[in-house]
Amino acid sequence: MLLRHLRHWFVCALALPGLAVAACGERVTIATHDGTQMPYSLARPAERLAVRGALVLLAGGDGHLKLDAQGCPKALGGNFLVRSASLFREAGYATALVDVPTDHQGVGGLAGFRNTEAHGADLGLVVADLRRRVKGPLWVIGTSRGTISAANVASRATGDAAPDGVVLSSALIHGTTGGVKPWTQQTVFDLSLAAIKVPVLVIGHVHDQCLRSPPGEMPRLLAQLGSARKQMVSVEGGAGPSGQASLGACEGRSPHGYVGQEAATVDTIVRFMQSN
Whether residue 29 has pLDDT greater than 90: yes
Whether residue 3 has pLDDT greater than 60: no
Contact indicator for 54, 44 with CB cutoff of 8 Å: no
Closest CA to 85 of 263, 204, 236: 263
pLDDT digits (tens, 9 = 90+) for 118-161: 999 999 999 999 999 999 999 999 999 999 999 999 999 999 99
Q: How far is CA 267 from CA 41, 81, 262, 263, in A?
A: 22, 13, 9, 6
- pLDDT computed for residue 179 by the predictor: 66
* H runs (alpha helix) in the chain: 2-15, 17-24, 80-90, 117-133, 146-156, 218-224, 262-274
Which H or E run contains 58? strand 53-58
Instruction: Provide the angle, in degrees to the nearest 10, between the axes of the packed helices 146-156 and 117-133.
Output: 80
β-partners of residue 230 are 200
- In whole angstroms, give the CA distance from residue 263 to residue 232: 18
Whether residue 16 has pLDDT greater than 50: no
pLDDT digits (tens, 9 = 90+) for 55-98: 999 999 999 999 999 999 999 999 999 999 999 999 999 999 99
- pLDDT computed for residue 180 by the predictor: 67
What pTM value is reported for the model?
0.90
- pLDDT computed for residue 24 by the predictor: 86
